[in-house]
Structure 1
Amino acid sequence: MIKHCLTACTPRLVEPRLWFIVPYMLLSSICIGQAQDQQDMKVSPETKFQVISEVLQQLRSKYIFPDVAAQMERAIRNYVADGDYATITSARQFAERLQSDLRTVSRDQHLEVEYSHEPIPIQDANQQEKIDPERQARIRYKGGLVNYWFKNADILPGNLGYLRFDGFFPLKDGGRETADSAMTFLGHTSALIIDLRANRGGDPEIGLVLMGYLFDKPVHLGDFLSRPDGSRTENRISPHNSGTKYSGDVYVLVSGDTISAAEGFAYDLKSIRRAVVIGERTAGAAHPAFDYRVGEHFTLTIPTSRYVNAVTETDWEGTGVVPDIPTLKQQALETAELTALQKLVKEQPDYPFIEERQRALDEVQKSLQNRN
């Protein structure tokens, strides 16, 4: 299942879907408020051997960079030979150590080994988890309780739209109506600020839904290149079928916490010059990843493909998305307001509420000056 992580206290969900989605063991207990830690258990030498063997086999056959997979295998075999895992009896600690060792070699933030106290369902031949309807219904219900990670849609002084969402909820499990409602509510604003500073990724399809409001014709954003089957899959925006197009300027706020599909959203809009990116350089995790069951209580997340943007012919792996306007994340919103209002005041002198807009501009200028 394709996946990515979200913050520890966001609802914990997973499905075999598109880009980056949360792993199975986090799904069984969506958390609202504080996350409950997985109960630990003892791990036997036989289980450790089985997990390591499965991990190395999956890396050999599927990891996006075969040479790096070989380096990781050599390192892990050396650790095994030196007895580094022999004294570990905690399943959680074993998963954490194995993940740390793999990441030390690969420097890949999407590479994960995770432990689940609850047994992980057997997957089919394609390693896709067998989803039961009742469980899927629970995901939809609990996703609704947290508004599918949409946190805020507001109209700021000067008629600026503001949309914050902290995760890309799996589209087939809900969220489409929420995304549509937010964009409809903000449709008559003069400029739009999209806040991804706390967004930890997820299913990028919800991002394509939002992007569909920003264009009146299809746009080819890039392609996913898969190592296991050699396929090439287009990533394309389709305009919203209502014909509604948001024509105002767009500003995307990012931080060092912005990761994965959230980075892709900012990167693609920046590359086609549809948005100005403001804030801090992002985390730099670009490669789509799948979850694979590597034991009754363990999963391995492997990046199996890479993204090639149609404009830059590369992605943001390891480098992050570089903002057009760099600033501290705490100042990114006011910086976006300032940038948008200055442009609007200059370009729309006949705006009916120009005095109100000018007051908003003066206030945000004063606030930023006081910060400095």
Structure 2
Amino acid sequence: MSKDKHLRILYAPAQPPDLEPNAPGAAAAREKMNRELAAMNFGFAKVEQLSGNVGYLDLRGFVGAELAGETATAAMNLLAHSDAVIIDLRQNGGGSPSMVQLITIKRATIVGETTGGGAHPVRPHFLADVHLLALIPFGRAVSPITGTNWEGTGVTPDLQVPADKALVAAHRDALKKLHDQAQDAERKQKFAWALQKVEALANPVTPSAEVLKSFAGSYGKLTLSYENGSLWFLWPGRKLRAVPMTADTFTLDDGRDVLRFRMETEASGKVTGLIELYDDGRTERSPRTGS
């Protein structure tokens, strides 16, 4: 009836103990809630570094800065040396405006789908006579940037893509911008290298077993072998799985991504050599020396 995304009416056999600050059991209920939030790391689910020195934060909720401020600071400090940061809100149900203000205001390109459109803050009211708990909006949130409200309409992304494609799209967008803004050739090469891999992940290829078998062989000091449906890169003391990026280019599954290789073939399909590709732009060719 109200069209408000945050209006809720729930069955409640008794008044929740934390509804009134001075009610019996209220302090214990708040302490229990705080422990549960702490056990979830206050919504900070994952912090990691993606290729191209792009930081990643999986944030599952906006817990108030008075509780989660130290955790937020620690998480952001881990990302402080990133060239760009992706904050993943796809599993974030919202929360406290104080945490929103602490982290994200006017600092981001929004990637993904239009949000659900719940903007208004609510307060709980217990209706004892009918055993209902009503969560009733009491204010109108207004963006300090646009001066408008997103209730019922949601926030429209700057870059619209399906939610399950949003992380790859955001990573790709960040690397493209970093590449274009880079002032020296070394940094441009760094971001171009990372972007090639992200593009490959966005458009995966699966060479046939026959093609992979045709690549197996000796290339000077290097050897490629075909085993259990995969191509393996062998060198003294190491054996690494080769992961296809394109039909003829592979990266190594070692977590470092400093070396890739591209196969050389003639028009007839005959494999003639292998080119080692390094993250600093160097290349080295090894002709095929044996099958």
Q: TM-score interval w.r.t. the shorter chain?
A: 0.5 to 0.7
Closer/same/farther in 2, CA of residues 276 and 344 from structure 1, 3 Å limit: same
Report whether the alignment pairs 1:346 with 2:180. yes
Per-residue CA deviation, residues 227-266 of structure 1 (Å, 9 max, x unaligned), is xxxxxxxxxxxxxxxxxxxxxxxxxxxxxxxxxxxxxxxx
3-state DSSP class of the match of 2:58? strand
Report whether the alignment pairs 1:197 with 2:101. no
The 5 Å alignment of 1:174-323 reads 174-211=67-104, 268-269=105-106, 274-295=107-128, 297-323=131-157
Shift of 1:335: 0.7
Q: What letter corresponds to residue 359 of structure 1 in structure 2?
A: W
Whether contact under 8 Å (2:44, 2:59) holds in the other structure is yes
Closer/same/farther in 2, CA of residues 358 and 302 from structure 1, 3 Å limit: same
Whether contact under 8 Å (2:61, 2:92) holds in the other structure is yes
Of 60, 80, 86, which residue of structure 2 is paired with 1:166?
60
Shift of 1:357: 2.9
Q: What letter corresponds to residue 143 of structure 1 in structure 2?
A: L
Closer/same/farther in 2, CA of residues 129 and 307 from structure 1, 3 Å limit: farther
Normalising to structure 1: TM-score of the pair?
A: 0.50
Q: Matched residues in 2 for 1:324 and 1:206: separation?
A: 22
Closer/same/farther in 2, CA of residues 359 and 117 from structure 1, 3 Å limit: farther
What residue ranges of structure 2 are gaps of 5+ in the alignment? 206-291
Report whether the alignment pairs 1:333 with 2:167. yes
Closer/same/farther in 2, CA of residues 350 and 133 from structure 1, 3 Å limit: same
Shift of 1:184: 0.5
Specify which structure has the higher proportion of helix: 1
**Corresponding residue for residue 141 of structure 1:** 35
Shift of 1:155: 1.0
- Higher RCO (Cα < 8 Å, 6 or more apart): 1
What residue ranges of structure 1 are gaps of 5+ in the alignment? 1-104, 212-267
**Corresponding residue for residue 32 of structure 1:** none
Specify which structure has the higher proportion of strand: 2
Cα RMSD over matched residues?
A: 2.4
Closer/same/farther in 2, CA of residues 310 and 147 from structure 1, 3 Å limit: closer
Shift of 1:117: 4.2
Q: What letter corresponds to residue 146 of structure 1 in structure 2?
A: M
3-state DSSP class of the match of 2:111? strand
Q: Matched residues in 1 for 2:195 and 2:158: separation?
A: 21
Shift of 1:305: 1.2
3-state DSSP class of the match of 1:152? strand
Per-residue CA deviation, residues 120-179 of structure 1 (Å, 9 max, x unaligned), is 34966xxx674733332222222221111111111110000111111112333x222110
Q: Matched residues in 2 for 1:146 and 1:368: separation?
A: 31
Q: What letter corresponds to residue 87 of structure 2 in structure 1?
A: I
Whether contact under 8 Å (1:122, 1:293) holds in the other structure is no
Q: Matched residues in 2 for 1:167 and 1:143: separation?
A: 10
Closer/same/farther in 2, CA of residues 138 and 327 from structure 1, 3 Å limit: same
Whether contact under 8 Å (2:7, 2:135) holds in the other structure is yes
Shift of 1:298: 2.0
Of 139, 149, 152, which residue of structure 1 is paired with 2:46?
152
3-state DSSP class of the match of 1:137? helix
Q: How many residues align?
A: 203
Q: What letter corresponds to residue 114 of structure 1 in structure 2?
A: L
3-state DSSP class of the match of 1:153? strand
The 5 Å alignment of 1:29-178 reads 105-121=1-17, 130=23, 132-172=26-66, 174-178=67-71
3-state DSSP class of the match of 2:128? coil
Q: Which of the two has higher C-alpha Rg? A: 2
